[in-house]
Structure 1
Amino acid sequence: MYRTWAAAAERAIVTRHLSRLWGLPGTVLARSGWPPTPGERLHWHWNYWWQAHVLDCLIDAQLRAPSPARAATIDRYVGTLRLRNFGTWANDYYDDMAWLGLALQRTGRDVTTFLARMRSGWTADGGGGIWWRRNDRFKNTPTNGPAAILHARAGDLGRARELYEWLERTLVDPATGLVWDGLHVDDQRLAKEIYTYCQGVFLGTCLELSELDAAARTVRAVADHCAPGGVLRGQGGGDGGLFAGILARYLALAARRLPGAESGLARELVLTSARACWDGAREAPSGPLFHHEWAEPAPVAPTGHPCRDLSVQTGAWLLLEAAATLES
């Protein structure tokens, strides 16, 4: 069932969003919206980190149902990303580069450039951690979480653990176990907003470093505070459209790696969210159209609605691929 739903999400998003870059043969990139505006047709607005998650979903799909055609699409996608970024992987946002590094690492490509950029963003200011972006004074979970996962998967467990420990002592709410957004370094002011994104990347960091007690605590906190009725809550369109999908990815990993009750809790959060997401989808050209709030029905027409964003549709695809990994 979940594998079938994931395949339907893939078909819908690939058909509606993927197109050539600037009409060039052999290229493919995802448009940022559907129906696309003229700027989106030209990939003028292309959202570097959204594209990293589309690539991650294509890799998920290839693991679910391998095909030579999709493998070729993945290769073209990687090349097109670099072309659209004017021949470089560089980006001012450290979190953007961490996400693309994680996706490229899964394809077997060298990620030395991405690791070097992460290391260049680490300073002792604020007790450690990596800046959110270059020439900025904010350090946050959305950067340090995926950077820690990237370092851990690349074998640099020392730096991964430094990042985990900074997150644990700086941004985890001792009262709830939830992970705050970040720290304004100059005045030591905490940004205490609660995003599902932050819970997901902290959970992923805990799992990579076998910090199972912290991972279990995070799963419980998510269940208690971020999933009304057992369904992970959305956080709008734009960048927020990806947040719950990122959390679902790492909850599925927790379901497979954690012992005890939290494994089942993580599993149920993913599968309940997947059922709600699918049940609320509307039939649209080439397949389902998903709402950014999985507990709500998608609109009849996406124009002017957050669900037209690539981020929202990719977030749902992330969820359904995560659910598919839990299907026997």
Structure 2
Amino acid sequence: MKKLLICLALAVFMAGCSKIEDEYRYGEPQAVDWTLAANSSTNALISQFWNNDGYFNYGSNGSDKGFQYWPNAHAMDVVIDAYIRTGNETYKSYFDKWFAGIKVKNGGTYFNTFYDDMEWNALTMLRLYQVTKEEKYLTAVKTLWTDIAAGWNETYAGGGIAWMKTQLYSKNACSNGPASLLAIRLFNLTKEETYKQWALKIYEWQKNTLFERATGAVYDNINGNTNAISTVALTYNQGTFMASAVELYKVTGDKAYLNDAQKIANFTLTKCIDTSNNILRNEGDGDNALFKGIFMRYFLILLQQGDLTDAYRTKFETFFNNNAQIAWTKGAYPTTLLFGPSWNEKPLAEAQLTAQASGCMMIEARAAFKK
């Protein structure tokens, strides 16, 4: 993924703090039917972005029919969310089309120069297998995993999965958090110990190299040639490392992982926000517009943990709900349900797939919360 640091009815619209106890909401929220909201936003994603060639266009309403590999994984994740939530076979009808279509658009293969791009798609394909039990999805995941694991090297930075095949010295959070998460989910599915060991190894390397234990910040990358670390903290990196911690906690029972996850989340809610609205900040358009939604997908997993610390739970749930409320009532364009990179502002024109998928992930997550 070339990072840049830098949904259908109007009627549906009826609807830098540090203390754990802080609440992230202003005023009384409008009543929202989150099931209806999720149905509408996800349907907008499909109607405005789906290409009959079996992939999601990059721009809404045919404004950009270009194909981008990694955002397609997240768009399909939204459709999977809707299928799990509703059981509606219409959503399921897109699975095979997408699985075949992205392979064609990606040059007849699921492999990619960027390890993180393969990881995102493997995570999505694993979910497709879990909801359909069709072996072709799992076969593709395992094939991708073999290639991903080959991205580990200890020549640079003492370990870690490289960001891309042509820059083996660049070890990024975006290529290690999702890899650890994929490995532990493969272990949960197959019970093959090797996947668990990979998950633990990748997690420990990232914790020792790209994690600020005192604060919960997940650093972006380390240049293995110079050992220089980029300390920028991006929400999607916070989210995947947090999710890995939660999944490892569920497997091992070691509360150190839960503590890590809570600390990561608390940092994100403290430092990665738009303080005027107490929502996740606008991290930019393009690739960056996806970041918030990825965090929220995995934040939901943390919120679903029964033994989350009480003080954290109050803060975390309030923040989660506020983001959904703001995104739905202020960030979605009323007649088209398109989202932009800011959840506090409606898009001015056509939307990008990255921003749309991100907003839809937030709404689907809110609909799934406490279901």
Deviation at 1:35, TM superposition (A): 4.0
Residue 308 (structure 2) aligned to one of 259, 263, 270: 259
Partner of 1:314: 357
Separation in 2, partners of 1:3, 1:218: 29
**1:80 alignment partner, one of 101, 105, 112:** 101
Query: Which one of the candidate residues 75, 81, 84 is aligned to 1:54?
Result: 75
* 1:133 and 2:158 are equivalent in the alignment: no
Is 1:302 matched with 2:302? no
CA distance in 2, matches of 1:86, 1:184: 30
Q: Is 1:255–1:266's contact at 8 Å kept on the other side of the alignment?
A: yes
Tell me whether 1:115 sits opposite 2:145 in the alignment. Answer: yes
| Structure 1 position 11, deviation (Å) | 1.3
Q: Which one scores higher on RCO, CA 8 angstroms, separation ≥ 6?
A: 2
1:180-259 equivalent positions in 2, closer than 5 A:
180-210=219-249, 211-227=257-273, 228=275, 229-257=277-305, 258-259=307-308
Percent of residue pairs bearing the same amino acid type: 28
C-alpha deviation, 1:214, in angstroms: 0.3
Asked if the contact 1:101–1:150 (Cα under 8 Å) also holds between the matched residues in 2, the reply is yes
Query: Paired residues, what number?
Result: 309
Q: Which runs of 5+ in 2 are unaligned?
A: 1-32, 130-136, 188-194, 250-256
Partner of 1:10: 42
TM-score (norm 1): 0.90
- What TM-score does the superposition give when structure 2 sets the normalisation length? 0.80
Consecutive unaligned residues of structure 1, counting only runs of 5 or more, are 22-27
Per the alignment, residue 271 of structure 1 pairs with 321
**Aligned-residue offset at 1:117:** 1.1
SS across alignment from 1:194: coil
- For 1:269 and 1:135, the matched residues in 2 are separated by 39
Equivalent residue, structure 1, for 2:196 = 157
Q: Deviations over 1:94-148 (max 9, x none)?
A: 0000000000001112111111011110011212110000020210111100111
Aligned-pair CA distance for 1:174 = 3.7
TM-fit CA distance, 1:54 = 0.9
* Superposition CA RMSD, Å: 1.4
Matched letter for residue 204 of structure 2 = E
Alpha carbons of structure 1 residues 29 and 175: separation in structure 2 relative to 1, 3 Å: same
CA deviation after TM superposition for structure 1 residue 175, in Å:
4.1
In structure 1, what residue type is equivalent to 2:93?
A
Aligned equivalent of 1:282: 333
Deviations 1:62-92 (A, max 9, x none): 0011122221111211111112123211100
Cα separation, 2, equivalents of 1:326 and 1:264: 14
Q: What is the CA–CA distance in structure 2 between the aligned matches of 1:224 and 1:123, rounded to whole Å? A: 34
Equivalent position SS for 1:92:
coil
Task: Identify the residue that residue 206 of structure 2 maps to in structure 1.
Answer: 167
Farther off after superposition, 196-205 or 224-233? 224-233
Aligned mates of 1:74, 1:269 — CA distance in 2: 32
Query: Is this contact kept in 1: 2:246–2:258, CA < 8 A?
Result: yes
User: Structure 2: which amino acid aligns with 1:253?
Assistant: I
Give 3-state SS (helix, strand or coil) of 1:128's partner.
Answer: coil
Q: Residues 269-323 of structure 1, C-alpha deviation per residue, up to 9 Å, x if partnerless?
A: 2211010001112223xx31223111x2214x415xxxx2110010001111111
Between the aligned partners of 1:72 and 1:174, the Cα distance in structure 2 is: 44
Contact 1:126/1:185 (<8 A) preserved: yes
3-state SS, counterpart of residue 229 of structure 2: strand
Deviation at 1:55, TM superposition (A): 1.1
CA distance in structure 2 between the aligned counterparts of 1:82 and 1:263, rounded to whole angstroms: 41
Counterpart in 2 of 1:25? none
Q: Which amino acid aligns with 2:309?
A: G
